[in-house]
Amino acid sequence: MSRQGASKAFPIPRRTLSRYVDSNRIDKATMGRKPVMTADRERELSGRGRLPVNIKDTSEACF
C-alpha cells in the first residue's frame, strides 16, 4: 500500500506516515512512566511462577 493510499484509508496525515516510515524505527515507542523494573528482572521474577501482586511483595522482590 502506498503512503497516500494508507493516509486515505486510515485517518493519519500523509506526512506523519512518511516521517514514520523514513525514520526506520523498528522499536515500539513507549509512552507514560518509565518501568520500575528492568526487563531482565521482570523475566527473572516471572520465571519463578509468581509475580509480586502488591507493593510489599514488589519491594521485597526488587530490593
pLDDT tens-place string over residues 34-51: 878 888 887 777 766 665
For the segment 7-30, the average pLDDT, to the nearest whole number, is: 80
Phi and psi at residue 4, to the nearest 5°: -70, -40
pLDDT level of residue 27 (50, 70, 90 thresholds):
low
Give pLDDT, residue 45: 74
The total number of residues written for the chain in this structure? 63
Give pLDDT, residue 33: 83
For the segment 3-30, the average pLDDT, to the nearest whole number, is: 81
Give pLDDT, residue 28: 62
Contacts of the segment 20-29: beta carbons below 8 A, 24+ positions apart: none
List, in order, residues 6 or more apart from 36 with CB less than 8 Å away: 58, 62
Give pLDDT, residue 31: 72
C-alpha neighbours within 13 Å on the C-beta side of residue 55: 0
C-alpha cell of 47? 520465571
